Structure 1
Amino acid sequence: MEQLKDTNDIHDNNATLPRVLLVDGMALLFRAFYATSYSGYIMKTSNGTPTNAVFGFVKYFWDAVQRFAPTHIVCCWDMGSKTFRSEQFTEYKANRVDCPEELIPQFDLVKEVTSSFGVMNVGITGYEADDCIGTLAKHYSQDAEVYILTGDHDMLQLVAERVRVVIMKKGQGNYAVYSPESLFEEMQLTPNQIIDLKGLMGDTADNYPGVKGIGEKTALKLLVEYESIEGILENLALLPKGVRSKIETQLDMLHLSRSLATICCEAPVACALESCFWEMDRQTVLSKFEELEFRGLMKLIG
């Protein structure tokens, strides 16, 4: 894991390339909401519109922009709860609790704010923000270096030579930046093996089981030894009886869980690089801040 000090040290060989920041909008918004509402107090405008999540989102967003110095920015969003994954597995994310009432009006509001910064908002019905990010990262990395800003470790499967996944850690401005090398150093896994890991152990947050009875420790051990789910299946006879039995009896769910864990990098999304050039109009942003009574944020943008 690269503890970020100076982004210029990360890609010395790519100094002349554009740098695209792909923002996982939902990850930032939810993090901001819960970070600012745990005490029970919800920031609102004088007309009663809740704004705490948007306020926190802007702080996270602006800190990342200052730290990573992108030349281009895109913000990606989920577009409803139903996706192609819920068609594959009806229980997918079915355990999610209802969205807090105070957060609902902030979904549209935050997109107005990102638009005021001149940032392109992207989302496609039937796909998750992850899929938009994966597709755009694959496309942009042909001609640019890409930074994915998120709190979701599933995104580590997208790490590549020109793609860094930036995991937001506890405390604003605290990031872990993953390259293929640092990912392997920390977890002894390649990006593709992250998918197989989730296939084996499942994901309680997304509500798919993987192979019941196989946790992270066993899954990691199997992948380090046999490299992939295919490698594990080819060597079933060598596995301890209990592990072999669990895999054999849950083979269909293993393959389904791996499919659910795989970010689609061929989503029908397109956003030309030149259309997401980062060029903020300060007055437009200040106007939006004034409308939302974000006086405490005005000094952020100078």
Structure 2
Amino acid sequence: MNDNKEKLLIVDGMALLFRAYFATAVTGQFMINSKGIPTNAVYGFVKHFLTAVNQFQPSHVAVCWDMGSKTFRTEMFDGYKANRPEAPIELIPQFDLVKEVVEAFDIPNIGLAGYEADDCIGTIAKEMKDAAEVIILTGDQDILQLLEENISVALLKKGYGNYLVHTHETFYEEKGITPKQMIDLKAFMGDASDNYPGVKGIGEKTALKLLQSYEHIEGVLENLHLITKGQRVKIEQDLDMLHLSRQLAEIKCDVPVACTLTDSVFRMDRNKVIEKFTEVEFRGMHKLLEDSKSFA
């Protein structure tokens, strides 16, 4: 770990917002305020956010967002995420509202059209890892490919304040491969939630074995004569999709976004935050706010 005291929390805004929305929408608790705007997702987002801040005590914070559904991945493969339904109507007005609330905390909102939040997270994490200890807060396992010295990932578990914190060491202990090899793992097994198939008939168990034996896709392809005939035939039949799936799976870490330590210092103005909570009509949030030690 870094000897300096700087700790940057990078929040996967989309992951927190969607999780918060679906946790309450299932019972119809949309928390519609007097302006007719649903606030359940934003309320849950703030609750997740403040709980994490109180637990991890970051000195710096940034929040990353998707900026629309069209990205370089949808251009590469038009089936990418094509199985995702449209955003629920009650969630749509909350996309802008949540960014306003984040601004009230004096935290940068970061996103770029054509890229996913993951790509912005990856870019900032890699840029900042030498200046600060980086913790990424998400519910998305794909982010685990970014793990390395000084970059850890806190995966949201059920409820509030429950996290599975992964380092590159714990990931290797659990999977038997390095975080970077996770890209090739997904290339072989595909990703049902992102709607790309990988190699048909090759699941996680087989893919892990192949990568443990031959390190990466190139290693497997160089040693096709050593693997079973069934596996060889499957890979040869889906070779183009294997290479495409790897491109889809890899988080881009050279996106033209920037976030410096100066931009992301976390010192919130209590009055400004409370004013925003009052405007949005949030109730019962003051206790979490009082627990935070990050007032300007």
**TM superposition shift of 1:17:** 3.4
- For normalisation by structure 1, the TM-score amounts to 0.94
User: Structure 2 length as normaliser, TM-score?
Assistant: 0.96
Q: Choose which of 258, 271, 277 in structure 1 pairs with 2:246.
A: 258
* AA at the equivalent of 2:272: T
Letter in 1 for 2:38: P
In structure 1, what is the equivalent of residue 79 of structure 2? 91
Partner of 1:288: 276
Tell me the matched-pair count: 290
Q: Which amino acid aligns with 1:46?
A: S
1:122: how far off? 0.4
Map of 2:294 onto structure 1: none
Q: Which runs of 5+ in 1 are unaligned?
A: 1-10
- CA distance in 1 between counterparts of 2:118 and 2:104 reads 23
Q: 1:129 aligns with which of 108, 112, 117?
A: 117
* Shift of residue 261, structure 1, vs aligned partner: 0.3
Q: CA RMSD in A?
A: 0.9
Give the match's secondary structure for 2:284. helix
Which among 263, 272, 282 is matched to residue 275 of structure 1? 263
Aligned amino acid, residue 135 of structure 1: T
Deviation of 1:186 (Å): 0.9
1:17–1:143 Cα contact (<8 Å) kept = no
- The 3-state SS of whatever aligns with 1:86 is helix
Q: What amino acid maps onto 1:291 in structure 2? A: E
1:80 equivalenced with 2:80 (yes/no): no
Q: Does the CA contact (< 8 Å) of 1:195 and 1:258 recur in 2?
A: yes
Instruction: Note if contact 1:289-1:298 (Cα within 8 Å) is conserved in structure 2.
Output: no
Corresponding residue for residue 220 of structure 2:
232
| Structure 1 residue ranges (4+ consecutive) displaced by more than 3 angstroms after TM superposition | none
Moved more, 213-222 or 190-199: 213-222
1:275 aligned counterpart, secondary structure: coil
Specify the SS of the correspondent of 2:9. strand
Alignment of 1:1-302 (within 5 A): 11=1, 14-302=2-290
Deviation per residue, 1:79-131 (Å, 9 max, x gap) = 00000111111111111101100000000000011111111000001010000
Residue aligning to 1:3:
none
Provide the identity percentage: 61
1:176 and 1:230 map into 2 onto residues whose CA distance is 32
Q: Mind listing any 5+ residue stretches in structure 2 that lack a counterpart? A: 291-296
C-alpha distance in 2 between matches for 1:292 and 1:189: 46
Tell me the alpha carbon deviations over residues 110-155 of structure 1, each in whole angstroms, 9 at most, x when there is no partner.
0011111111000001010000000000100021110000011110
Kindly provide the CA deviation profile for residues 185-239 of structure 1, in whole angstroms up to 9, marking residues without a partner as x: 1111101111010000000111111001111111112112222111111110111
